[in-house]
Every structure is written in structure tokens, then in C-alpha cells.
């Protein structure tokens, strides 16, 4: 397993947002997190690289392991952790700079300055994000002039540039048109050959199309998780079945 979560609890002040979550995330597979709004799936996603540390009044107990190492250990290097476990957000969060500079932003943060090496990283990352052929002749143009789908793929390229091991994707297609969504889904299928991917999605069809495993959250609890085909055709819990078939609530 790439990541192992054991009895994870998270509190915002006195309010408990995650309760007793235990889950194993297989290496080089896509894990979809599904459930109604406010069920805790995005909160859970952010615990995997400690993004919730940035929020005041958050308290977490339980254990999360990355390749057997405790992510919440006192001596965990958060910069290195977030390099290994990168995140793509719901909406593109590009910097107001060129396409080229967006891709290598993280590399510069980590101290890389060799121009030849940076050029290689830009091309490799954009190719992995299925974007190179579209932008190779305008790398010095502002990234803000790209389409929404291109911007999201550029965000993926930026994460890939620092060579992560795990990709966290928080509804990466929710703001995109159907064609851009299809491109992102195809990209996810290609990327799992090299990366472990955990994706939050509200789209049941998308979860069925792209994921190998699916986990269903409700009211801060992990109701069940299994191979995606099993979750969608033979769920063990009635609440999962109701949510997938649209009878929930």
C-alpha cells in the first residue's frame, strides 16, 4: 500500500468533521472519494498532505502512513511531504506569470536554477499533462490567457514538475466543459502508471470511469470502500446504494 490511514479523527474546534476513518490506498491506482456535499471527503483529502494544518483550530488524531512513515510525526518535513504528495484543486490556481514560469515554480522553490534542467522539466511535465503540443510555441505567454481546461492541465503539470509520488485531486473537473473533462479523465488514466491518485468527485459516472477503487463518505464517516465495480454494482451498505442510484436523502 502507498498510504494507510488508521482511525483518523479530525475536529474543527469542538466540531468533529471526520470520525474513525481507516482506509488503505493502493500504489499506482486511482481511488475515488464520493459522497454528498459536506460529508468530509475534501477534508479527508487534505489530511493526506497536511493541508489542514493551515487552518486554525484543527485537531487531528489517528495515524496516516506514507510508505510506512507517519505523516503526522513531529519531525515530518512538510515541504518534502507536499512535494511527495501534490495537490490539484477544484479551480485552476495559476500564478500571474508565464506558462513556463508556472510549471517550474515549485522547482525554483526547491532551489533548482539550472536553465537546461528547467527546460527539460518543463517539456517533460507538459507532455505528461498532455499539454505540450498545445503550448510549446508560447511558453513565454501569460498562463492567464489559457482556456479553463488548459489551465487545469497546467496546474497538473506544475505538480508533476516536482516529481511527486501521490496526486490529490479535489474535483478537478467541476469547473470544466465536457471536452476538457474528458481530457483530464484520459490524463488520469495515463498518470496512474506512474503515480498514486486520490480524487474527490461528485460525478458518479466519472468515478465509475476513472477509478479502480471507490470510498463512500457520509457525515464524516467512511461508510464503505471497495473495488469500484463492486461499489457501483453490489454495494454492501444501503446508504451507498441509495447515494449511487440517486435515492439518497
Query: Is the pTM of the predicted complex or chain greater than 0.85?
Result: yes
Written as one string, the DSSP assignment of 225-236 is EEEHHHHHHS-S
CATH 3.40.50.300 is the classification of domain 3-244:
yes
Domain spans of the chain, in order of start: 3-244
Residues 6+ positions from 12 with CB-CB distance below 8 Å: 55, 57, 58
Report the Cα 24 to chain-centroid distance in Å.
Answer: 16
Write out the chain's pLDDT in tens, 249 residues. Answer: 999 999 999 999 999 999 999 999 999 999 999 999 999 999 999 999 999 988 989 999 999 999 999 999 999 999 999 999 999 999 899 999 999 999 999 999 888 999 999 999 999 999 999 999 999 999 999 999 999 999 999 999 999 999 999 999 999 999 899 999 999 999 999 999 999 999 999 999 999 999 999 999 999 999 999 999 999 999 999 999 999 988 876
Cβ of 15: how many Cβ atoms within 10 Å?
9
Phi, psi of 139 (to 5 degrees): -65, -25
Are 52 and 93 in contact by the 8 Å Cβ rule? The answer is no
Cα distance between the two ends of the chain: 34
For residue 50, is it left (φ>0), alpha (ψ between -120 and 50) or beta? left
Question: What does the pLDDT read at residue 249?
Answer: 61
- Beta carbons of 220 and 40 less than 8 angstroms apart: yes
The 3-class SS string of 82-129 reads: HHHEEEECCCCCCCCCEHHHHHHHHHHHCCCCCHHHHHHHHHHHHHHC
Amino acid at each position: 500500500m502507498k498510504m494507510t490511514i488508521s482511525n483518523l479523527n479530525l475536529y474543527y474546534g469542538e466540531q468533529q468533521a471526520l470520525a474513525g476513518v481507516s482506509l488503505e490506498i493502493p500504489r499506482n491506482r486511482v481511488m475515488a472519494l464520493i459522497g454528498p456535499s459536506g460529508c468530509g471527503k475534501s477534508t479527508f483529502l487534505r489530511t493526506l498532505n497536511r493541508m489542514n494544518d493551515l487552518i486554525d483550530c484543527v485537531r487531528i488524531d489517528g495515524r496516516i502512513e506514507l510508505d510506512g512513515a507517519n505523516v503526522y510525526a513531529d519531525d515530518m518535513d512538510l515541504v518534502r511531504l507536499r512535494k511527495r504528495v501534490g495537490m490539484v484543486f477544484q479551480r485552476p490556481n495559476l500564478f500571474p506569470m508565464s506558462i513556463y514560469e508556472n510549471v517550474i515554480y515549485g522547482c525554483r522553490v526547491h532551489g533548482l536554477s539550472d536553465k537546461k534542467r528547467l527546460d527539460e522539466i518543463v517539456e517533460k511535465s507538459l507532455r505528461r499533462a498532455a499539454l505540450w503540443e498545445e503550448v510549446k510555441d508560447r511558453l513565454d505567454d501569460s498562463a492567464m490567457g489559457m482556456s479553463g481546461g488548459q489551465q487545469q492541465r497546467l496546474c497538473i503539470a506544475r505538480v508533476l514538475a516536482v516529481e511527486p509520488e501521490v496526486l490529490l485531486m479535489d474535483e478537478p473537473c467541476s469547473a470544466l466543459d465536457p471536452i476538457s473533462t474528458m481530457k483530464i479523465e484520459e490524463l488520469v488514466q495515463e498518470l496512474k502508471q506512474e503515480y498514486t491518485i486520490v480524487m474527490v468527485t461528485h460525478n458518479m459516472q466519472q468515478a465509475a470511469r476513472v477509478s479502480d477503487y471507490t470510498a463512500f463518505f457520509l457525515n464524516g464517516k467512511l461508510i464503505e470502500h471497495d473495488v469500484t465495480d463492486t461499489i457501483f454494482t453490489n454495494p454492501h451498505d444501503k446508504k451507498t446504494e441509495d447515494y449511487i442510484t440517486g435515492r439518497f436523502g
